[in-house]
Amino acid sequence: MSDAPAVGELTPPDRTLMGPGPSDVHPRVLRAMSTPLVGHLDPSFIEIMNEVQELLRYTFRTDNQWTIPVSGTGSAAMEAAIGNVVEPGDTMLVPTNGYFGGRMASMAERAGGEVVKVDAPWGEPLAVDDVEAAVREHEPDVFGFVHAETSTGVRQPDVPELTEVAHEHGAYVIADCVTSLGGVELRVDEWDIDVAYAGPQKCLSCPPGASPLTLNDRAMEKVLSREEEARSWYLDISLLEGYWGEERAYHHTAPITNVYAMREALRLVAEEGIEARWQRHRDVAGALKAGVEAMGLEMNAPDEYWLPSLNAVRVPDGVEDEAVISYLLEQYDLEIAGGLGALSGDIWRIGCMGYSARPKNVSYLLAALGDALDSQGADVDVDAGLAAMSGALR
Ligand SMILES: Cc1ncc(COP(=O)(O)O)c(C=O)c1O
């Protein structure tokens, strides 16, 4: 046997997180995470669960009884949504306009569903007419779309029109709101979304580990009347109902610390007010956008479907995307990311989410990005960028 490994104290670097997630965590959330554990069936924890559910309903803008944090990352909430709503033999319509539509397709297939697609290029939203044509052609049981495509920086507009078209043809609607919840206007009830899921580590500024999910009664009826059990025991909503519903009986041990974190993160949302929070994201990310544009860079998404929480900026000719990313990390302890899939090498993805959506963060980011681009010999006007950003923040 080898000797005990000599592993030193944990001292992670002090990064500023402006990538596609996680975002910087609010100090109050970190403090909540260092409070003592109680049991996951302790009466005090049941009270905390109720509070988290109430706060999640507020944040999703829904009255859905069935609103919970799923144990696991955003993909767990995503798989709970798709794996329970899609039954073997069901058809699910998914989008092709980004990375996460592809993940929806894989999950629907694993659930025994047949996948059909509605096309739009990466970097563009779905058009209502195209969704209508696809729904007419395929008569899907379920339609999934991504409200905030983290891979492209595109916000899906016209959500009420999309849900109407799907409902006219009897399809349930699942919305991926991982990068919108708590940062970008989202109205689950008013927009008639049947199922929505999200991630904690984006606009809620909460570490990954428990992820929001909400289902309306109509979707819940489908889930509870399935002929075949959901393929995942862990994410079977009919079983999770025992813990998060009336009974509060053991299913699995809840990630208590993550539930504490979410409670505090959602309390911050409620204190700020959800609409004010959406506005803050628009204002602060708007200043960032004004800055990069005045420098001479181009946003990947036009203004009509720009996503404030994820700013996709086109890499100018002659500049190496990775060199800029590394420079920012090494020189400034600042994290941004490159493009994925069809946009790999073409864009930088700059998050402006939750606690990271602050004037302090965007000023730092823009100054550092200007320096990184200068160091690469890029033809950018850094001073003009900084002036435009300051002007927009004023
Ligand atoms: C739009 C979208 N959907 C789903 C996910 C999956 O979430 P996670 O990585 O937390 O599992 C992400 C993560 O970035 C995302 O951006």
Quote the pLDDT of residue 1.
Answer: 80
187, 208 Cβ separation under 8 angstroms: no
Give the confidence band of 281 by pLDDT, cuts at 50, 70, 90.
very high
Convert the pLDDT of each residue in 317-329 to its tens digit. 999 999 999 999 9
- Average pLDDT (180-202) is 98
- Average pLDDT (46-65) is 98
Mutate to test the pocket of ligand 1, among 17, 179, 202, 335 (most ligand atoms within 8 A of CB): 179
Quote the pLDDT of residue 157.
Answer: 98
- Tell me the two tokens of residue 151: 């891979």
CA within 13 Å, CB half, 368:
22
Of ligand 1's atoms, which has the minimum distance to the CA of residue 76?
Answer: 11
Strands 195-197 and 209-215, by their bridges, are antiparallel
Between the CA of 392 and the centroid of ligand 1 the distance, in Å, is 30
Contacts of 194 (CB under 8 A, 6+ apart): 85, 163, 172, 173, 174, 215, 216, 218, 219
- Average pLDDT (208-223) is 98
Mutate to test the pocket of ligand 1, among 70, 145, 150 (most ligand atoms within 8 A of CB): 150
Give the confidence band of 2 by pLDDT, cuts at 50, 70, 90.
confident
Helix (H, G, I), strand (E, B) or coil at 121: coil
Convert the pLDDT of each residue in 334-343 to its tens digit. 999 999 998 9
Between the CA of 74 and the centroid of ligand 1 the distance, in Å, is 5
Give the confidence band of 376 by pLDDT, cuts at 50, 70, 90.
very high
Of ligand 1's atoms, which has the minimum distance to the CA of residue 150?
Answer: 16
Instruction: Give the residues surrounding ligand 1 with Cβ less than 6 Å away.
Output: 20-21, 73-75, 78, 100, 146, 150, 176, 178-179, 199, 208
Alpha helices in the chain (DSSP H): 27-33, 43-60, 74-85, 99-110, 128-138, 159-168, 217-224, 237-244, 256-272, 274-295, 321-332, 359-375, 382-393
Convert the pLDDT of each residue in 112-156 to its tens digit. 999 999 999 999 999 999 999 999 999 999 999 999 999 999 999
Of ligand 1's atoms, which has the minimum distance to the CA of residue 75?
Answer: 11
Residue owning the nearest CA to atom 16 of ligand 1: 150
Question: Residue 351 to residues 61, 274, 312: CA-CA distances in angstroms?
Answer: 23, 19, 9
Residue in 44, 39, 50, 43 with CA at minimum distance from that of residue 244 = 50
Quote the pLDDT of residue 89.
Answer: 98
Residue 223 backbone dihedrals phi, psi, to 5 degrees: -65, -40
Whether 313 shows a pLDDT value over 90: the answer reads: yes
> Is the omega angle on the peptide bond into residue 22 within 30 degrees of 0, that is, cis?
yes
Question: Residue 359 to residues 46, 47, 292: CA-CA distances in angstroms?
Answer: 38, 36, 14
Give the confidence band of 95 by pLDDT, cuts at 50, 70, 90.
very high
Of ligand 1's atoms, which has the minimum distance to the CA of residue 208?
Answer: 10
In the β-sheet with 142-146, what is the strand arrangement from edge to edge? 66-72, 209-215, 195-197, 172-176, 142-146, 91-95, 114-118
Quote the pLDDT of residue 201.
Answer: 98
Give the confidence band of 203 by pLDDT, cuts at 50, 70, 90.
very high
Question: What does pLDDT average to over the chain?
Answer: 97
Residue in 169, 213, 168, 171 with CA at minimum distance from that of residue 195 = 213
Whether 304 shows a pLDDT value over 90: the answer reads: yes
Residue owning the nearest CA to atom 7 of ligand 1: 74
Residue owning the nearest CA to atom 15 of ligand 1: 178
Quote the pLDDT of residue 223.
Answer: 98
CA within 13 Å, CB half, 275:
0
Between the CA of 144 and the centroid of ligand 1 the distance, in Å, is 14
Residue 390's CB is within 10 A of a number of other CB atoms, namely: 15
Question: Residue 119 to residues 132, 233, 300: CA-CA distances in angstroms?
Answer: 12, 33, 19
Convert the pLDDT of each residue in 365-374 to its tens digit. 999 999 999 9
